[in-house]
Chains A and B, each alone.
Chain A
Amino acid sequence: MSQDKAKKLFRSIGDVDDDLVEEASQAKSKRKPFYPLLVKLVAAAAVVALIVGVGVTQLPGLLGGGSVTQILPAAEAGVMTAGGQSRGGPGTDAPTSNPRPFFNYNGYRYAFRANVMSNIPIAYNLTAFDFKKSVGTLEYDLAAVMTGESSEQELAGRDYAATFALGGTVWELPGYNPGFRLAVELDDIWYIADVVGRVDGEPLGAKYYIDTAKLDKQVSQILITPLNYGDILGTIDGETASKLLAELKNASPASLTNEEYETFARIQSQGGTYTLVVQLKDATSVEMLITPELGIISIGDDKYHLTDRFVADYGSLFEGLEHIAPPMQ
């Protein structure tokens, strides 16, 4: 009965004055303006800005082409791990209550690039891209499954199931391998999503991830920071970073036992896990979490064992680094 009344009210709201509807159809945040293109911002500035708290996201396309930049307020400085898990940036120790924004496509899971504090996806100005190929529409409501409002568990494995931007169109992003990065448009607002795992739960594979994203070719440098940022503990130059990533392709998937997980969590809580901020030439970054003591690295949603050669060649980069325990959450 109350649903019938609610529908009646919904219909009445549908008949409100046209000018109010038009205003709402065009309404956007006044606090976060969409800046015009800034085409000559150098990647180095983005690196510095990222750390000092001014988020700069630039997407010239890994294979060249026009440059697109959006400058966001400091609070919006969105940094994603390669796994898409948003984590605290400088001074961000508050856990978010928002669900992780992601969708499934072609058997893979893609996480929207999102604000580290709120998990709110970042809107990008992508007007310079000549989008040619849409690959589908986000059609199935995974958020409802996750919150228990829907019991359609089988949706979890279905392509085009999403926790965010339902109804949005998925596009290939010119210059990027769609296996790594896609764009999503909803109501003229554009988002970017990076692959983080496979829907069937099998590991993505370090080689697959690094090759698909062309990380070893596109890396400009790697920053080593504590798990929750704060300071730069070390910098790996571009050439060394490229070799490090090439070796990382040989990392093998790690299936941790409960006991190993407990050890992993303990070491992480003591500051023994570091973030590798892999800075790319397009001035975006992906992150990997490395726990040198256990020889484990997280890439995407999966964990991998570092090779002996990696430990031998690059283990010294992590020796003597300050252990900064992440804040309690």
Chain B
Amino acid sequence: MEDNAIVQLYFDRAENAIEETDKKYGRYCKSIAFRILTSYSDAEECVNDTWLNTWNAIPPKRPSKLSAFLGRITRNLALDRHDYNTAAKRNSGFNLVLDELAEIVASPDSVEKEAEAGETAGAISAFLRKLDEDARNVFLRRYWFADSVADISVRFDMSESKVKSMLFRTRNKLRAHLEQEALL
């Protein structure tokens, strides 16, 4: 089913809206949640919560890119659950992603500043648009989808060391960009 038709089901408050969403995006959302939570049951629950959140959000929202909309909700819910889970136990895979990002924000020269989330996201979008396509997509696969380095290397037919060095360079560039924008 086309995305527009699925969104319309939500506007019509049709009972099969969630079923159709699950059919088309269930695995996509589950894999995002799984990479953050590393637990199949947690990921399933997270995706069920995503459908509930989507039901509550549409209407009034009418997402233009349904996959990104659903993925973003899943991601945020998974991150919340990760916070809860990590109180008891570390999830090593996803913590690696966070450790890498911590390199960007942990600059000793950085000024403590509470930037608006939207402002930072806008600056990151602008930064990503300046990158070449491969570097941009590798960065997003790692830090949006939380893919493992091994999975990225297969997806883009690169060695793991090349993926790591590409991510390292992009993180450094992003830090410089955010500092320049006074967002760090």
Residues of A within 8 A of B (CB): 2-3, 5-25, 27-29, 31-32, 76, 97-98, 101, 118, 120-121, 123, 137, 139-141, 143-144, 149-150, 163-167, 169, 186-187, 189
Contact = CB atoms under 8 A, between A and B. Distances in A.
25 contacts: A3-B98, A6-B102, A7-B98, A10-B79, A11-B79, A11-B117, A15-B118, A16-B128, A18-B64, A21-B71, A23-B133, A23-B136, A25-B68, A27-B137, A28-B155, A28-B156, A29-B155, A97-B161, A120-B150, A137-B40, A143-B150, A149-B96, A167-B30, A186-B31, A187-B155
Nearest to B137: A27
Given A2-B106, A141-B92, A10 B143 contact: yes
A165 B31 CA distance: 11
Interface size class of B (residues with CB under 8 A): 35 or more
B125 A6 contact: no
B34 to A, nearest CB: 4
Consensus secondary structure, chain A interface: mixed
B157 A31 contact: yes
- Ordered nearest first, which 7 A-B pairs have the shortest CB separation? A15-B121, A24-B140, A29-B157, A18-B65, A27-B137, A167-B34, A5-B105
Nearest to B99: A6
Contacts of A6: 98-99, 101-102, 104-105
A103 B67 CA distance: 30
A189 B120 contact: no
A121 B92 contact: no
B140 to A, nearest CB: 4
Contact of B150 (A24, A101, A123): A101
Given A24-B141, A141-B92, 13 more contacts: A8-B117, A9-B104, A12-B124, A13-B121, A14-B121, A18-B69, A21-B72, A21-B144, A98-B160, A121-B154, A144-B92, A164-B151, A189-B154
A2 to B, nearest CB: 4
Contacts of A163: 150
B38 A141 contact: yes
Given A15-B72, A16-B124, A187-B155, A21 B67 contact: yes
Specify which of A15, A19, A24 lies most central, judged by the most chain B CB atoms within 10 Å of its CB. Answer: A24
